[in-house]
Chains A and B, each alone.
Chain A
Amino acid sequence: MSDVRLKSVGAYSPRLRISAAEFREAWGRFEAAGVETKAVPEADEDSLTMAVEAARRAIDAADVSPDDVGYLAFATTTPPMAESDLTARLTSLLGVTADATTRTMTGSTRAGAQALDASLDAGPWDGRLGIVVAADCPTGSPDSGIEHAAGAGAAAVVLGDDGPGVVRDRSSYVEPFPGTRFRTLGEGETTELGVTDYDRQSFAAALGGAVDGLNAFDHVDAAAVQSPDGKRPYRVTDVLGVEPDHVAAADTVETLGDTGAASVLLGAAKAFDNSAERVLLAAYGSGAGANAMIVDGELPTKCALDASVDLTYPEYLRRREVITADEPDGGGAYVSVPSWKRTIPQRHQLNAGECPSCGALNFPPSGACRTCHSRPDAYETVSLPGTGTVEGVTTIAQGGAPPEFVEQQSQSGPFVSAVIALDGPAGDEAVSVPAQVLTRGDSSVAVGDRTETVIRRIYRQEGVIRYGFKMQPIDAD
């Protein structure tokens, strides 16, 4: 077995929810059995931003520093870019050092479990840490069962050479089942042929094969089983040798929907969060393959899986970009990708600069000091904690966004834009920055409100997604 131990688990889901009832009203029926509500990414969320949220929580729960991470694996079936190494941005957004070994796993819904499996072989890392993060937000065609089930969420595990979590046993299995859930090259939507019995046979054969590879186990407290809908995992309890209650103890599909490559790790996070001490992980990827693992231990967790905003079906379609506008043509203001890259230390890590002449904080730290107007050779880099106070604020009404933000406004409506006095590292001096502030429902933002940073998509131009910080009210969690 591996010498790698599990130190913590973190989990995140977007706060937006749509209910099965909304689909029934729109379509006359709902194709995702066992799903009551599902999580929907906001317009500025994707698998990368969700991965940041889950990973930060896992790092918090383990009470470790991102500086200590030497290995990072990212798993998703829905990378925001089909080609482009997203682990570089994920590493930067998390504050992990540039020399970390990084891996990307994709291509099927068992990518999350594969990433964990591979990292157990890769570590330990000479006293440094590993982090595995799975995040997913699948989509299908609007009338399909895949789309009705398609949810969103992310889970992350921190690994090291010590920790309360031990992988007792693990196993892998593959068997060709072409035509089960798939996505052709260049397509955005996942589909399936819908040969029902064949699909069920594939699911049971692969998972059964993986579990057969494990040594016999006495009992588990929970079974985190791949959940493309809320019925499929319960059909394989006999094959897995578990009870329906065990599946229910790690069930997130009922509230979050199908979370793809994050499904099994999310289930495990829920189980450990509810004090499970032995969890079976049973991940399935169509095509088909499966991974099974037994994880023992009392793992610290930090989970944000609660809902707060219900969407109507039209609002949902806007988030899904089904009925929205793209960025209009135009000209004028333009920030090139290379000049954006130059600001990444500020946008990802809130690096401000202290003026060597007067000590004032500058953000971004370039050009003349905004306080004493001297032009230093270099600013001393200061990392800001990420909390701040609203100094000036407006809501950009529908139709009032500049072209780069038309797509965002088309998807999620009016947005709040503010000037924020970000707290300095010592808490006594602040430096002002412009930022959007996330709101929920009809909540409003006023001068004096306290906020904290959160990583989101800022905008997409020339096909390139640009990530950076926004703010959210500090009591948002």
Chain B
Amino acid sequence: MRDAYIIGAGQTPFGSMPDRSYRSLFLTAFERAVESVPHGIDEDEIDEAVIGSLGVGGRQLGLSGPAATEHLGLHGIPSSRIENACAASGYSVRQAVQAVKSGMADVALAGGVEVMTDMSGDMTKYWLGVSGETEWERLTGTTFAGVYAQMASAYLDRYDATREHLSMVAVKNHANGAKNPNAHLGFECSLDDAMSAPDVAHPLNLYHCCPTSDGAAAVLVASEDVVDEYTEEPVRVAGVGASSERVGLFQREEYTTIASSRRAGETAYDRAGLGASDIDFAEVHDCFAIAELLAYEDLGFCDPGGAPQLLDDGVTDLDGDLPVNASGGLKSKGHPIGATGAGQIAEAFKQLRGKAGERQVEDPTYGLTHNVGGSGGAAVVHILEREVGR
């Protein structure tokens, strides 16, 4: 199969924009993605589109793919919405890559959008739990903070880790997000702030939880046959992996790992012919602080139980050996559910082209993005490569 390339990617700022419709947000992200294509792109050259969203609040739950692309003026192209909870747009990018690699499209648009701040807190809570296992898990009174807190309790019980390690994730990601103009919560926080915040679901406090955000992200994927028309600085999709897992935490073998992440990572490394040590930076799915620790281990950055040491040693800091969530991650950059995965790709694209400004990682070749749905029912990992001397 032929190679797929990211030729452009963009996002809206993530944040609270209750007056913006999902279509207007997606339009902004799309325009930024188009602007980022080095040689430009004629929009007529886009063959198809896949848009991720959970559909928080209901709104255009049916046919939101066509509704968005027709709004963009991408008239008549095949367009659909993909739903995989918080991994929706990681999966939409994967699907665009599939379309391009298979030869069914030369250029495909992938993206995601979510509007979460324009409704009451009660309504939001209804929607935040819809990707948990509904019949049993939700009916013990948990939303996702509760389920991740249960994972954290098992992790803290099993390994030499403390709540301070959870807070260190918040401090690091806020420090990075403060350098990102697109971040929802773009401010720094102290370890003391991140330790003393009120509990949401013990052991997780407010600083261990990401916000609910509005936002959209768009990614343009092109085949190796046409990539040279658009850019001389191609970013190759070196590997993609995706995997599913039981939706309810209680149905899984272990609570201190997300097996779908592990499998998705293994597949992505395998397809890319790379290992974890080759990765220069990563954007991981830190919806709750414990999730970032689990991601380090599931993606092979360290052994199981080794995540606290990575944090203690500053390995994943912006100036560390393996910067993680230079964008601020879900914690600081924000988490508009359906836009998050494509937003990670947009960040990696920016980093690999050296355009990440103050938060630029030093001279990266390989970047990894890791996007998880729910508490791990779905996971998708992309490895992107800055191709030199094509």
Residues of A within 8 A of B (CB): 328-335, 339, 343, 364, 370, 391-397, 400-406, 408-409, 415, 417-419, 432-436, 446-448, 458-459, 468
The answer to whether A408 and B141 touch across the interface, beta carbons within 8 angstroms, is yes
The answer to whether A417 and B249 touch across the interface, beta carbons within 8 angstroms, is no
CB-defined contacts of B154 to chain A, threshold 8 Å: 391-392, 447
Known pairs A403-B122, A406-B122, A415-B141; A392 contacts B135 (CB<8 A): no
| A-B contacts besides A392-B153, A402-B141, A417-B140, 16 pairs, CB < 8 Å | A330-B127, A331-B58, A331-B127, A333-B130, A333-B132, A364-B136, A393-B153, A396-B141, A404-B141, A408-B141, A415-B141, A432-B250, A434-B136, A447-B153, A447-B154, A448-B157
B104 interfacial by beta-carbon distance below 8 Å: no
CB-defined contacts of A328 to chain B, threshold 8 Å: 120, 122-123
CB-defined contacts of A392 to chain B, threshold 8 Å: 150-151, 153-154, 249, 255
CA distance in complex: A332, B130 (Å): 6
The answer to whether B246 and A402 touch across the interface, beta carbons within 8 angstroms, is no
The distance from the CB of B168 to the nearest CB of chain A, in whole angstroms, is 20
- Specify the main secondary structure of chain A where it touches its partner: mixed
Name the segment of B29-37, B176-184, B200-208 touching the other chain. B200-208
CB-defined contacts of A396 to chain B, threshold 8 Å: 141-143, 145-146, 201
CA distance in complex: A334, B151 (Å): 24
The answer to whether B255 and A394 touch across the interface, beta carbons within 8 angstroms, is no
B52 interfacial by beta-carbon distance below 8 Å: no
CB-defined contacts of B145 to chain A, threshold 8 Å: 394, 396, 400
Partner of B149, one of A329, A335, A394: A394
CB-defined contacts of A458 to chain B, threshold 8 Å: 139
The distance from the CB of A365 to the nearest CB of chain B, in whole angstroms, is 12
B198 interfacial by beta-carbon distance below 8 Å: yes
The answer to whether B150 and A393 touch across the interface, beta carbons within 8 angstroms, is yes
CA distance in complex: A103, B32 (Å): 71
Q: Can you give 29 A-B contacts (C-beta < 8 A)?
A: A330-B125, A330-B127, A332-B127, A332-B129, A332-B130, A333-B138, A335-B134, A335-B135, A339-B135, A370-B246, A391-B255, A392-B154, A393-B150, A393-B153, A394-B145, A394-B152, A394-B201, A396-B141, A396-B201, A397-B198, A400-B146, A402-B143, A405-B141, A417-B141, A417-B150, A434-B248, A434-B249, A447-B153, A447-B154
Residues of B within 8 A of A (CB): 58, 120, 122-123, 125-130, 132-143, 145-146, 149-154, 157, 198-204, 246, 248-251, 255
The answer to whether B138 and A394 touch across the interface, beta carbons within 8 angstroms, is no
Nearest CB in chain A to that of B254: its residue: A391
The answer to whether B146 and A403 touch across the interface, beta carbons within 8 angstroms, is no
CA distance in complex: A400, B121 (Å): 10
The distance from the CB of B372 to the nearest CB of chain A, in whole angstroms, is 17
The answer to whether B126 and A332 touch across the interface, beta carbons within 8 angstroms, is yes
Nearest CB in chain A to that of B120: its residue: A328
CB-defined contacts of A400 to chain B, threshold 8 Å: 143, 145-146, 200-201
Partner of B140, one of A343, A406, A436: A436
CB-defined contacts of A419 to chain B, threshold 8 Å: 150, 249-250, 255
CB-defined contacts of A404 to chain B, threshold 8 Å: 138-139, 141
Partner of B129, one of A402, A406, A447: A402
Partner of B126, one of A395, A403, A446, A468: A403
CA distance in complex: A370, B247 (Å): 11
Nearest CB in chain B to that of A466: its residue: B139
The distance from the CB of B216 to the nearest CB of chain A, in whole angstroms, is 21
The answer to whether B255 and A402 touch across the interface, beta carbons within 8 angstroms, is no
Partner of A335, one of B123, B139, B143, B198: B139
The distance from the CB of B345 to the nearest CB of chain A, in whole angstroms, is 28
CB-defined contacts of A364 to chain B, threshold 8 Å: 135-136
The answer to whether A433 and B129 touch across the interface, beta carbons within 8 angstroms, is no
CB-defined contacts of A395 to chain B, threshold 8 Å: 199, 201-202
The answer to whether B139 and A394 touch across the interface, beta carbons within 8 angstroms, is no
CB-defined contacts of A333 to chain B, threshold 8 Å: 126, 129-130, 132, 134, 138
The distance from the CB of A457 to the nearest CB of chain B, in whole angstroms, is 12
The answer to whether A330 and B250 touch across the interface, beta carbons within 8 angstroms, is no
CA distance in complex: A333, B126 (Å): 7
CA distance in complex: A331, B154 (Å): 31
Partner of A370, one of B149, B151, B198, B251: B251
CB-defined contacts of A415 to chain B, threshold 8 Å: 141
CB-defined contacts of B201 to chain A, threshold 8 Å: 394-397, 400
CB-defined contacts of B140 to chain A, threshold 8 Å: 417-418, 434-436
Nearest CB in chain A to that of B143: its residue: A402
The answer to whether B123 and A331 touch across the interface, beta carbons within 8 angstroms, is yes
The distance from the CB of A328 to the nearest CB of chain B, in whole angstroms, is 4
CA distance in complex: A402, B147 (Å): 12
CA distance in complex: A147, B130 (Å): 40
The distance from the CB of A130 to the nearest CB of chain B, in whole angstroms, is 34
CA distance in complex: A156, B249 (Å): 39
The answer to whether B199 and A397 touch across the interface, beta carbons within 8 angstroms, is yes
Nearest CB in chain B to that of A419: its residue: B250
The distance from the CB of A200 to the nearest CB of chain B, in whole angstroms, is 47
CB-defined contacts of B246 to chain A, threshold 8 Å: 370
The answer to whether A417 and B142 touch across the interface, beta carbons within 8 angstroms, is yes
The distance from the CB of B156 to the nearest CB of chain A, in whole angstroms, is 8
The answer to whether B153 and A434 touch across the interface, beta carbons within 8 angstroms, is no
CA distance in complex: A94, B125 (Å): 35
CB-defined contacts of A391 to chain B, threshold 8 Å: 154, 255
CA distance in complex: A364, B251 (Å): 10
CA distance in complex: A448, B130 (Å): 29
Known pairs A392-B151, A401-B141, A434-B142; A447 contacts B132 (CB<8 A): no
The distance from the CB of A256 to the nearest CB of chain B, in whole angstroms, is 29
The answer to whether A330 and B129 touch across the interface, beta carbons within 8 angstroms, is no
CA distance in complex: A418, B132 (Å): 14
